[in-house]
């Protein structure tokens, strides 16, 4: 029987060497590690991405950059990590090849609703110069259609009325910044999948702070660094099977173990207002313009991922690899990426986008990841306006049809309206904004009315009208889905 990480000598070097010689362990004295970063959003992605880049910087001897991790919504991860002395493992796996590293860059793990005073004090601490975040698109209280602060959000209204007791990401950031000494520089590094994510975070934070403290809003606008960034790594949520596999590999039980793909990428705009880790020495790319990389990743990777998720859910396919292996769904994803989405992307100078696409498709095919379509399908009302709609708007304005992307959009609407797979199985739809749109679709009497109702739903599709011919094509796809399901929609 395996034991917990904490019980098993805190992942001692001797024990791990005996268990598996391929496990890389921390090479530094953790007692000397300082806290220089606060990270909001302590999920698997951060721990397998930014925390690993930082781990490599610390391993080179710069002990200023220990991370205080903060979960805003769920106490489970901080509780697990605290029980393990904030240690966990990351295994990069493709097929039979696997590499495991024990990560020690976390100096603490807090649950904001329970530890709010400590979280705010950490952000206010002048020795912290970076606050990073991975809270998903919905975590920034943005109206996806207007791209402004969502003043209808109940938590936003609460935080404006009670800024000292915030519930939202923006509220927690503002509360900490408000208490920082004026002379202490700070940079906010947003790592979520939003175009211009740093610029977006600054705008939303200024709009929020301006509701109750104009001086704080001016400070955020003029003094706080908010570089844009692009992150890329496929990190599935842990499952009992992945935890068991990691335990067998480690020879001990790690309840926070992560199994992910080997590929990783981080592109960061070199626009910091404070000291920062030398992330470029760990493989990150520092550049003056992140936008081409962001657009490429949002549309090609995230956009295709979403299409695979909804097609997979409707067809009863549990994982992305399952969907890619299906003759119809896999072919649809490949054509969507290489034909429709590729045509909407302006590549960074000297970048081989076609090669990037083929590499992405190989990553999607990795059967060892077990990346669930249900996980990727979450929060579509926040993701679709960023991943698909700009490409559709641009193409339609130029008089260009995107038949595969239009089918993807129809599949998402059908998924919301029915809540069932083509075989009749109930689907788990995890999206706070979904019901309002799904209700509109269900209330209509025919597919044309359904298409009109969906595209008129401002919180997702915006106020600008959509071309009539596009509405008719979307209605035809909805009719095909209703009568024959996803496989009929994708049939050659």
Statement: residue 7 has pLDDT above 90:
no
- Of 372, 300, 294, give the one whose Cα is nearest residue 335: 300
Cβ-count burial 319-353 (b if 16+ within 10 Å, e if not):
bbbbbbebebbbebbbebbbebbbebbeebeeeeb
CATH code, 295-490: 1.10.1040.10
Q: Name the more confident of 19 and 350.
A: 350
* pLDDT of residue 478 exceeding 90: yes
Q: pLDDT per residue over 227-251, tens digit each?
A: 999 999 999 999 999 999 999 999 8
Average pLDDT over residues 261-283: 97
Non-local (6+) Cβ contacts of 161 within 8 A are: none
Residue partners of 211: CB distance under 8 A and separation at least 6: 160
CA–CA separation, 341 and 334 (whole Å): 10
Helix, strand, coil share (%) of the chain residues, nearest 5: 50, 15, 35
Instruction: Note the pLDDT of residue 455.
Output: 97
CA 189/CA 439 separation, integer angstroms? 37
Compute the average pLDDT of residues 125-146.
Answer: 95
Q: Do domains 13-287 and 295-490 have the same CATH topology?
A: no
pLDDT of 5:
42
- pLDDT, residue 6, reads 39
Strands 265-269 and 229-232: antiparallel
Render pLDDT for 370-380 as a digit per residue (tens, 0 to 9): 899 999 999 99
Domain range summary for the chain, segments of one domain joined by +: 13-287, 295-490
**How does 467-482 read in b/e, with b if 16+ C-beta sit within 10 Å?**
eeebbebbbbbbbbbb
Mean pLDDT throughout 93-106? 92
Q: What is the pLDDT of residues 416-465, one digit of tens each?
A: 999 999 999 999 999 999 999 999 999 998 999 999 999 999 999 999 99
Question: What's the rounded Cα separation, in Å, for the pair 51 and 262?
Answer: 15
The tokens describing 181, both together, are 């000494």
Picking from 29, 86, 34, the residue whose alpha carbon sits closest to that of residue 59 is: 29
The tens digit of pLDDT for each residue in 345-384 reads: 988 888 899 999 999 999 999 988 889 999 999 999 999 9
- What stretch of H or E contains 214? helix 214-223
Tell me the torsion sign for CA atoms 328, 330, 336, 338. negative
Taking every pair of Cα atoms in the chain, the longest distance, rounded to a whole number of angstroms, is 68
pLDDT at 1 over 80: no
The verdict on domain 13-287 having CATH code 3.90.1300.10 is no
CB 382 within 8 A of CB 144: yes
Q: Is residue 163 within 8 Å of residue 178, measured between CB atoms?
A: yes
CB 63 within 8 A of CB 14: no
Provide the pLDDT for residue 10. 46
Asked if pLDDT for residue 12 goes beyond 80, the answer is: no
**Mean pLDDT to the nearest integer, 20-30:** 85
- Give the pLDDT confidence score for residue 56 in this predicted structure: 98
Split at pLDDT 50, 70, 90, the class of 20 is low
Q: Determine the pLDDT at residue 80.
A: 97
Instruction: Kindly give the pairing relationship between strand 130-133 and strand 97-103.
Output: unpaired
Structure tokens at 295: 């657009």
Choice among 17-26, 209-218, 338-347, 370-379 with the minimum mean pLDDT: 17-26
With a pLDDT cut of 90, the percent of the chain lying above it is 91
pLDDT of amino acid 349? 83
pTM for the model stands at 0.88
Bridge pairing between strands 130-133 and 187-190: parallel
Place of tokens 């220089």: 36
Stretch 304-317: mean pLDDT, rounded? Answer: 98
């Amino acid at each position: 029987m395996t034991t917990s990480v904490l019980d098993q000598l805190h992942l001692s070097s001797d024990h791990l060497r005996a268990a598996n010689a391929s496990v890389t362990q921390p090479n530094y004295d953790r007692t000397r590690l300082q806290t220089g970063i606060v990270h909001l959003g302590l999920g698997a992605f951060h721990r397998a991405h930014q925390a690993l880049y930082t781990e490599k910087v610390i391993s080179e001897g710069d002990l200023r950059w220990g991370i205080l991790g903060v979960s805003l919504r769920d106490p489970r991860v901080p509780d697990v990590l605290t029980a393990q002395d904030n240690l966990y493992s990351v295994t990069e796996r493709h097929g039979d090849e696997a590499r495991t590293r024990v990560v020690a860059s976390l100096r603490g793990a807090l649950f904001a609703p329970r530890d709010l005073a400590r979280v705010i004090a950490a952000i206010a601490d002048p020795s912290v110069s970076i606050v990073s975040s991975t809270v998903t698109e919905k975590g920034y209280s943005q109206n996806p259609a207007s791209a402004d602060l969502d003043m209808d959000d109940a938590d936003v209204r609460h935080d404006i009325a009670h800024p000292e007791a915030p519930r939202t990401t923006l509220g927690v950031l503002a509360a900490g910044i408000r208490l920082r000494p004026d002379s202490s520089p700070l940079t906010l590094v947003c790592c979520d999948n939003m175009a211009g994510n740093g610029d977006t975070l600054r705008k939303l934070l200024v709009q929020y702070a301006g509701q109750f403290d104009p001086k704080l809003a001016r400070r955020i606008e003029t003094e706080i660094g908010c570089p844009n960034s692009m992150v890329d790594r496929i990190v599935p949520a842990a499952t009992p099977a992945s935890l068991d596999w990691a335990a067998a590999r480690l020879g001990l039980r790690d309840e926070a173990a992560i199994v992910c793909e080997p590929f990783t990428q981080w592109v960061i705009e070199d626009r910091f207002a404070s000291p920062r880790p030398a992330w470029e020495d760990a493989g990150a790319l520092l550049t003056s313009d992140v936008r081409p990389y962001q657009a490429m990743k949002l549309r090609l990777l995230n956009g295709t991922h979403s299409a695979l998720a909804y097609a997979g859910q409707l067809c009863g396919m549990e994982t992305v690899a399952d969907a890619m292996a299906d003759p119809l769904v896999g072919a649809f994803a490949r054509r969507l990426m290489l034909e429709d989405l590729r045509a909407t992307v302006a590549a960074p100078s000297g970048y081989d986008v076609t090669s990037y696409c083929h590499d992405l498709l190989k990553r999607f095919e990795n059967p060892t990841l077990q990346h669930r379509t249900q996980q990727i399908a979450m929060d579509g009302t926040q993701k679709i306006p960023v991943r698909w709609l700009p490409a559709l708007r641009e193409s339609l304005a130029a008089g260009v049809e995107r038949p595969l992307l239009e089918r993807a959009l129809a599949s998402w609407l059908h998924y919301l309206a029915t809540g069932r797979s083509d075989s009749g199985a109930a689907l788990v739809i995890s999206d706070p904004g979904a019901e309002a749109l799904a209700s509109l679709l269900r209330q209509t009497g025919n597919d044309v009315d359904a298409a009109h109702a969906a595209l008129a739903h401002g919180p997702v599709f915006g106020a600008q009208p959509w071309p009539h011919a596009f509405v008719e094509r979307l209605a035809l796809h909805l009719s095909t889905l209703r009568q024959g399901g996803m496989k009929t929609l994708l049939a050659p």
